[in-house]
Amino acid sequence: MDHVALELLELGAVFFGLGLLGRLAQRIGLSPIPLYLVGGLAFGSGGIFPLGDIGDFTALAGEVGVVLLLLLLGLEYSAAELVTGLKRSWGAGVVDAVLNAAPGVAVALILGWGAVGAMVLGGVTYISSSGIVAKVLSDLGRLGNRETPVILSVLVFEDLVMALYLPILTALLLGVTLWGGIGAVAISLAVISVVLVVALRYGRYVSAIVDSDDQEVFLLKVLGAALLVAGFAQAMQVSAAVGAFLLGIAISGSTAVNATRLLEPLRDLFAAVFFVVFGLSTDPAAIPPVLGWALVLAVSTAATKYATGWWAARQARIGPMGRARAGAALVARGEFSIVIAGLAVGYAAVPAELSALATAYVLIMAVLGPITARCVEPVVRALPSRTPAGA
């Protein structure tokens, strides 16, 4: 069969299969992320239906997926909201980082994966899935609850930490010297500071540059700007994902709203490809040996995320039921855990088993998170309590 025809058939099978998996996820009320990962495992080397060589397209499409994920995340916040959220949630954010990165760091060190492996796995276990959390809050009608601003503040803090963490991780993966690492951090801090100042004072000009009444022109300008900024950031070793996130922050007002609406279908398409690509890079046979450690991490980090949300809501003087809902909402891990693990795949400093462990861990947490958020209220109400379980 003609090579191009074969590639088109394989890509068509992948996209159509992703559509079926997404539909199944909707029917059972879960995030599609774990199903996309399973699809990647099935289509990859060692899977049930290994595909041929479509790596050039899928690898680039996966990179675009990461850029769009972070761009749309940045579009959700204005610079002022980020600064306000940082001031309000820094205490809870520090507690969150320490409690939830620690299990990943500990397991990596126990397994002998070294400092770089520990930093990667610590990031995987640290950050909650903003996408899953937002969807669960919307599905359960909790967007107007008192604890929701606390949850969002923690997520905002995590996003800011990622803007610093990813450049540092990239520098470590590249094996730069101590001074090179310090330089990468300094560049990252400078870029973030400049972007925040520009967004706060001149955001309307950035929005005006990419804005257009014509949807086709608007789409091309926004997507082109995102890829240009991401590429420049990658060249500066600040991380393409962080560059896209910062551009999203700089775009504000109605332009951000319109860009989000226009880019969401593209984000969903390319992000799905990204999860499949990560699954393709993982041999299913490598998962059983690390499944026990994945379960250990799932149990421990579910508990630490719950404790984080409970403590943060308590600091905001929210009642026990609201504290429980806040803790349960933060349990899910998903897209950004895979982004972190995906950055590390293929580097000599990171063992091959890490991608298998990250895959198994995210599969568990992306399913456990929504279930925990749905079940927390009846469970808490069923428990004997000396204080009212009001929000």
Identity at 40, one-letter amino acid code: G
What pTM, to 2 d.p., does this model score?
0.76
Pick from 126, 120, 119: which is nearest to 101 by CA? 126
Position 2 in a domain: no
Q: What is the pLDDT of residue 54?
A: 61
Position 96 in a domain: yes
Position 384 in a domain: no
Q: Is the pLDDT of residue 388 over 50?
A: no
CB 309 within 8 A of CB 320: no
Q: Give the number of domains in the chain.
A: 1
pLDDT in tens, 328-379: 999 999 878 888 888 887 776 788 889 889 989 988 998 898 889 888 888 8
What Å distances lie between residue 367 and 283, 359, 362, CA to CA? 21, 12, 8
What is the domain extent for residue 329?
14-50+62-377
pLDDT confidence band for 389 (50 / 70 / 90)? very low
Position 1 in a domain: no
Q: What is the pLDDT of residue 155?
A: 84
Q: What is the CATH number of the domain that holds 138?
A: 1.20.1530.20
pLDDT confidence band for 86 (50 / 70 / 90)? low
DSSP code string of 39-75: HHHHHSTTSSS---S-HHHHHHHHHHHHHHHHHHHHH
What Å distances lie between residue 29 and 25, 132, 147, 367, CA to CA? 6, 11, 23, 10
What is the Cα–Cα distance from 192 to 181, expressed in whole angstroms?
16
User: Span 153-173, mean pLDDT?
Assistant: 80
Position 7 in a domain: no
Q: Is the pLDDT of residue 391 over 60?
A: no
Position 318 in a domain: yes
Q: Is the pLDDT of residue 101 over 60?
A: yes
Pick from 305, 328, 323, 342: which is nearest to 391 by CA? 323
Pair of tokens at residue 339: 């982004």
CB 305 within 8 A of CB 330: yes
What is the Cα–Cα distance from 209 to 251, expressed in whole angstroms?
10
pLDDT in tens, 236-278: 666 677 778 778 888 878 888 899 899 988 888 888 887 777 7
Position 391 in a domain: no
The torsion angles phi and psi of 177, rounded to 5 degrees, stand at -75, 175
Position 341 in a domain: yes
